[in-house]
Structure 1
Amino acid sequence: MTTAFSAAQAATAAGARLRVMIVDDAIVVRGLFARWIEAEPDLELIASLRNGREAVDAIDRVKPDVVVLDVDMPELDGISALPQLLSKRPGVTVIMASTLTRRNAEISLRALALGATDYITKPSSQNEINAATDFHRDLIEKIRCLGRRAHKPVAAPPAPPAEPMTHILAPPLVPQVVPAAKPLHYAQQHGPITLRPMPLTAPRAILIGASTGGPQALNKVLTNIDNVIAQAPVLITQHMPPTFTAILSEHLSRLTRRPVHEAVHGEEIVAGSIYMAPGGRHMSVTQSNGAPVIEISNGAPINFCKPAVDPLFTSAAQVWGARALAVVLTGMGHDGLAGAHDIINAGGHVIAQDEATSVVWGMPGQVALAGLCSAVLPIDDIGPKLSRLFAGDRA
């Protein structure tokens, strides 16, 4: 993920500032958010309002690029204001903000279906907000990244921070017969993307990593792979806090009519089931008595994320080797890149969502531009591609 300094420096040099509207009934929260935004040279606070009614009345006049919209407010709450804001200013980036309760999680996920771009969970008290450096960073990065993605030309995803990567760049562990790579002429500013061959045999497990925009993307993928789920387990790491992952699992289970649940430490992984990394915990895979099982851990965040995609991908490469297939969906940052290298080094394969259909082409863009993918596809094509792969299509 870009640092705040480098992103702000580039935007300031280009003379572009994102116009931000804050809508929250708590004056102390509005004041704190305002100070954070005004401290960024590439962001401009153009309105600080108390409720959804004020926001709806002002949006035509102030013309924000980004709205940070509280869920609970008097007169007109966030979920009621959202469709009116989008109707008056189509394409505006709306980030829902709420404290972490089941009710607010349900509302935030509903808001995504109604057109909100993303959500952010506020600490539960003013003292916690003041002390939450991670929340401060996440709020500013979401405003910056999502606002520029919607309103400015898309640039190539930044290189991840320099770090030792010898373990992921080692020679492949499983020899592969690799036909000549074919370039994918994708986006002019990125240059061609080199694609690897598709698997020669059907995978034994599907591993999915997603972040911003992930719930909507998961809806589209999972509803199109019923035959795949019957043949192989699906393991998902979606960047989400606790409670949100439980509600998302319930929603996906109703949608797919398949068992989707937050994974439990030690449970056996079987075909026909979909396992969701629980919010605030990392999910990986290990073996017990020769069978793959779930491992849940409470380690430190990885790539600023918890759960993170890398532990799932890396451990899956160790368990399933060449029969592991990773799918990287929309999301900010580079989580999943190291794990995707491990998948490839073990002989496995990677599919990424394309830039045009991603809310943010950070995570999928990183693996695509690193030359790790066998396909880079629009979200509507990923499910059918997986179905054809399990039906024997190797093209």
Structure 2
Amino acid sequence: MSVALTSPAAPGHLHQQEPLRVMLVDDSVVIRGMISRWLGSEPDIVVAASLRTGREAVNQLERINPDIAVLDIEMPELDGISALPLLLAKKRNLVVIMASTLTRRNAEISFKALSLGASDYIPKPESTREPGAAETFRHDLVQKIRHLGARARRSATHPAAPAFAPAPDRLREATHRAPPVAHPSAPVVKRSFSQQNPRVLLIGSSTGGPQALMSMVAEIGPVIDRFPVLITQHMPPTFTTILAEHLARASNRPAREAIDGEAVKPGHIYLAPGGRHMRVVRHGTEAVVALDDGPPVNFCKPAVDPLFSSAIDVWQGSVLAVILTGMGSDGTRGGKDIVTAGGSVIAQDEATSVVWGMPGAAAHAGICSAVLPLNQIAPKLVRLFSGDRS
């Protein structure tokens, strides 16, 4: 049975102080009840409706008028991937977070959902009786709702800012639009690029990262051919397997999850596997991948900081790192280590980031030599790896 928990807010009169309105769509009464309890305890979030099928969500969207929809993939009558385009057709700026269990099929569907305009995805724990898994799910879901919802509202109240939509074609549109909404922090202070020639490219990303990565690797073939590329994307197991396959197709270069102990070679893209941190170590004259099963760093596993910090022991100041869209501040501490060792850091700008958390933290920490729109990062990398120091 569907239960609307609050009356809909009047469209066009949303204020930042008003709670974000969430529509839960899942055929499991257990999951709906659990998430409703979690979100109900957050002062800035309200569950506007709890629905059983995608059909109910499509039919009741105007009445509920949510800011965010948490949409299950597998449901009766109308599943999540079928409901997604119908929901976005009715409300273009709706933030849709796809929820699914960790299977290869669901990972594939989640990636398809991103290409159709879903804002993000979240893996559901295999068992809600495991306290650790449930708490991780709760933390991640609340953070995604809070950050993605806030971004969508800012876009709605500042028409010149890019409309929130992470699908690849809409990401490309965003790179050509007006400057981002002013950030409340201090102005960004940029550093000069390192005078050392970079010998490795490191990339860290989170929310919105898969789409940004696929767009970027398609344009940096000359870099990949001559230098190794190592990527940490906040993503669970199975999903990283699928992402590596997508990166291989987008770049037309070898890309796969990194293997513990393998040598790092030019011409390859190495992706941190879900659930394990990726570092690099020196073994004789070679750089070698080192995976570990340590605790989460910055609430993430894999995390960006371990990769960034470890790279300076191998390449010293010849490291160039890029921090793409994502929540939190992962990558800033490791980026500071890179800069201290003589390397350089580039951050994605706010206008083209799905969430300007990670790149914004790095930019305001004063460690970046450039803060660029997504479509300008790849050309800049090609020039830097070709010897341009400007």
Relative to the length of structure 2, the TM-score reads 0.87
- The residue number in structure 1 matching 2:368 is 373
The alpha carbon displacement at 1:22 in A equals: 0.2
Residue 110 in 1 paired to residue 112 in 2?
Answer: yes
Residues 196 and 343 in structure 2, CA contact (< 8 A), matched pair in contact too: no
Work out the CA distance in 1 between the residues paired with 2:132 and 2:336: 38
The alpha carbon displacement at 1:33 in A equals: 1.1
Letter in 2 for 1:274: I
C-alpha spacing 1:288/1:120, structure 2 compared with 1 (3 Å): same
2:247 is matched with which residue: 252, 276, 299? 252
Residues 266 and 295 in structure 1, CA contact (< 8 A), matched pair in contact too: yes
Work out the CA distance in 1 between the residues paired with 2:35 and 2:385: 49
1:374-393 deviation per Cα after TM superposition (whole angstroms, max 9, x unaligned): 10000111001101112332
- The residue number in structure 1 matching 2:294 is 299
Work out the CA distance in 2 between the residues paired with 1:377 and 1:186: 15
Q: Which segments of 5 or more consecutive residues in structure 2 lack a partner in the other structure?
A: 1-14, 157-179
Q: Which segments of 5 or more consecutive residues in structure 1 lack a partner in the other structure?
A: 1-12, 155-184
Letter in 1 for 2:299: F
- The residue number in structure 1 matching 2:162 is none
Q: Secondary structure at the match of 1:197?
A: coil
The alpha carbon displacement at 1:28 in A equals: 1.3
Matches within 5 A, 1:114-153: 114-128=116-130, 132-152=134-154
Residue 261 in 1 paired to residue 256 in 2?
Answer: yes
The alpha carbon displacement at 1:186 in A equals: 9.1
Residue 209 in 1 paired to residue 204 in 2?
Answer: yes
The alpha carbon displacement at 1:221 in A equals: 1.1
2:284 is matched with which residue: 273, 289, 302? 289
- The residue number in structure 1 matching 2:330 is 335
Work out the CA distance in 2 between the residues paired with 1:228 and 1:88: 42
Work out the CA distance in 2 between the residues paired with 1:120 and 1:252: 20
Work out the CA distance in 2 between the residues paired with 1:188 and 1:288: 44
The alpha carbon displacement at 1:138 in A equals: 1.2
Work out the CA distance in 2 between the residues paired with 1:261 and 1:14: 41
C-alpha spacing 1:368/1:252, structure 2 compared with 1 (3 Å): same
Work out the CA distance in 2 between the residues paired with 1:194 and 1:88: 42
Relative to the length of structure 1, the TM-score reads 0.86
Residues 23 and 52 in structure 1, CA contact (< 8 A), matched pair in contact too: yes
Percentage identity across paired residues of the two chains: 59
Residue 324 in 1 paired to residue 319 in 2?
Answer: yes
- The residue number in structure 2 matching 1:310 is 305
Work out the CA distance in 1 between the residues paired with 2:311 and 2:91: 44
Work out the CA distance in 1 between the residues paired with 2:247 and 2:361: 27
Q: How many residues align?
A: 354
Residues 125 and 133 in structure 2, CA contact (< 8 A), matched pair in contact too: no
Residues 91 and 150 in structure 1, CA contact (< 8 A), matched pair in contact too: yes
2:193 is matched with which residue: 193, 198, 205? 198
Q: Secondary structure at the match of 1:45?
A: strand
Residues 123 and 129 in structure 1, CA contact (< 8 A), matched pair in contact too: no
The alpha carbon displacement at 1:188 in A equals: 5.8
1:59 is matched with which residue: 55, 58, 61? 61
Residues 353 and 379 in structure 1, CA contact (< 8 A), matched pair in contact too: yes
Q: Which moved more, 1:309-318 or 1:199-208?
A: 199-208
2:28 is matched with which residue: 23, 26, 29? 26
Work out the CA distance in 2 between the residues paired with 1:193 and 1:302: 26
Q: Which moved more, 1:359-368 or 1:191-200?
A: 191-200
1:85-112 deviation per Cα after TM superposition (whole angstroms, max 9, x unaligned): 1110001110000011010111111111
Residues 128 and 134 in structure 2, CA contact (< 8 A), matched pair in contact too: no
Work out the CA distance in 2 between the residues paired with 1:392 and 1:81: 49
- The residue number in structure 2 matching 1:99 is 101
- The residue number in structure 1 matching 2:266 is 271
1:127-157 deviation per Cα after TM superposition (whole angstroms, max 9, x unaligned): 3479611111111111111111111379xxx
1:188-219 deviation per Cα after TM superposition (whole angstroms, max 9, x unaligned): 63342111112334310000000000000101
